[in-house]
Amino acid sequence: MTESEFIGLIAGNGALPVEFAKRAAARGFRVLAIGATPGVSPEIAEHVERFLPIPITQWGHVVHALERHGVKSVYVLGSVPKRALYGGAPMDERFLSVVRSAQDASDNALFRAFADDLAGCGITIREQMELLPELTAGPGVLTSREPTEEEWRDVRFAFRMAKGLAQLDIGQTVVVKRQAVLAVEAIEGTDATLRRGAQLGRGDVVACKVAKPDQDPRFDLPTVGPDTVRTMAECGVRVLAFEAHRTILVDREKMQDVADGAGVSLVAVESGFEEGGASCAS
């Protein structure tokens, strides 16, 4: 991959595709961005050479655009809600064919089916962190407020529960209170899970977001940003724990400012922590 070649960005919702576009442009890459969902930020267009809003359900048009621009390497970033796949949007024949070829309708199986289809055209989906290596954190408390002892117990419990959930490829986020599970993430996404769990627990709840045990580094890495923290503050999530070195932090400085202003805790923990190891490094 050279900087004179087009690279592809299949962009979903959230701030991460914009962050990627900025960093790729700063490094001199020519980026063709495909806006795959209606919620894609229009800001992406300001940082790429070409922006094409093509719904993911029009997969044949997506592939044709990539081929027409000579794209050989693609990055898939941002959230593509499954609701977009089941919400009645028109689906072309190539999209339907790829979905039918998937082993099942799990996130991993669907992604790999689409990756295989691109590979058949000589297009490779690359690892999400390849151009974003600095957007992770080592273990530690990232905020001014540290969790209380009771919250640390809930973090350990939530980490174990979230890992079990992720292993089943259902979701990556769990909300708990006093070591009782209030909400688990499924098709609705992280923010809706946080709100539902906080409502059931009447606030002062703890959440944990983890990577899957067999996490495919090409897609769906856990991501946390300022919007997630604002949701926490609005609904009463007091602590969010996530995996060190395996979670993308979008606009970390802003995220920490929002958290400190709201008095909530953000902590990065490593595997083994849930079994009673060191809580985290400072």
* Same domain membership, residue 160 and residue 126: no
Distance CA 5, CA 246 (A): 29
User: Which of 131, 153, 176 finishes a domain?
Assistant: 131
Q: Which residue type does 158 have?
A: A
Contact (Cβ atoms closer than 8 angstroms) between residue 192 and residue 184: no
pLDDT score for 221: 86
Q: Is 278 helix (H, G, I), strand (E, B) or coil?
A: coil
Structure tokens at 93: 């024949």
Q: Flag whether 118 is in a domain.
A: yes
User: Which of 76, 96, 131 finishes a domain?
Assistant: 131
Distance CA 205, CA 241 (A): 12
* Same domain membership, residue 161 and residue 99: no
Contact (Cβ atoms closer than 8 angstroms) between residue 197 and residue 182: yes
The values of phi and psi at residue 77, to 5°, are -140, 145
Q: Flag whether 280 is in a domain.
A: no
| Helices 226-235 + 190-201 axis angle, to 10 | 20
DSSP code for 94: H
Structure tokens at 144: 């001014």
* Same domain membership, residue 162 and residue 123: no
* Same domain membership, residue 257 and residue 150: yes
pLDDT score for 83: 65
Give the number of other Cβ atoms within 10 Å of residue 180's Cβ.
12
pLDDT score for 278: 44
* Same domain membership, residue 216 and residue 123: no
CATH code assigned at 241: 3.40.140.80
Contact (Cβ atoms closer than 8 angstroms) between residue 3 and residue 21: no
Domains contained in the chain, number: 2
* Same domain membership, residue 192 and residue 268: yes
CATH code assigned at 124: 3.40.50.20
* Same domain membership, residue 144 and residue 271: yes
DSSP code for 74: E
Per-residue tens of pLDDT for the chain, all 282 residues = 555 679 999 999 988 999 999 999 998 999 999 999 988 999 999 999 999 999 999 999 999 999 999 999 999 999 887 666 666 678 999 999 999 999 888 888 899 999 999 999 999 999 988 888 888 899 999 999 999 999 999 999 999 999 998 888 888 999 999 999 999 998 888 999 999 999 999 999 999 999 988 888 898 788 999 999 999 999 999 999 999 999 999 989 999 999 999 999 999 998 777 666 444 543
The secondary structure of 110-156 as a DSSP string is HHHHHHHHHHTTT-EEPPGGGG-TTS---SEE-SSSPPPHHHHHHHH
User: Which of 131, 154, 182 finishes a domain?
Assistant: 131
Residue of 223, 212, 33 lying closest to 128 (CA atoms): 223
Give the number of other Cβ atoms within 10 Å of residue 160's Cβ.
17
The secondary structure of 41-52 as a DSSP string is -GGGGGTSSEEE
* Same domain membership, residue 267 and residue 148: yes
Domain of 70 in residue numbering reads as 6-131
Distance CA 171, CA 164 (A): 10
- 45 contacts: CB under 8 Å, gap ≥ 6: 33, 51
pLDDT score for 170: 85
Strand partners, 75: 9
* Same domain membership, residue 164 and residue 122: no
pLDDT score for 282: 39
